[in-house]
Structure 1
Amino acid sequence: MYAIIEDSGTQIKVSEGDVIDVDLRALGDDQADLTFDRVLVIGGGEGAATLGSPLIEGATVKADILDEGRGPKIEIIKFKRRKGYTRRNGHRQGRLRVRVTAISG
Structure 2
Amino acid sequence: MTASHGDDLHAVGGSARHIPVLLGEVLEALAPAQGDIIIDGTFGAGGYTRAILATGASVVAIDRDPDAIAAGRDMEVQSGGRLRLVQAPFSTLDEHVE
Q: Please tell me the TM-score bracket, short chain as reference.
A: under 0.3
Tell me which protein shows more helix as a share of its residues: 2
- Could you state the TM-score of these two structures normalised by the residue count of structure 1? 0.23
Structure (1 or 2) with the larger CA radius of gyration:
1
Tell me which protein shows more strand as a share of its residues: 1
The structure, 1 or 2, with the larger RCO (C-alpha pairs under 8 Å, 6+ apart) is 1
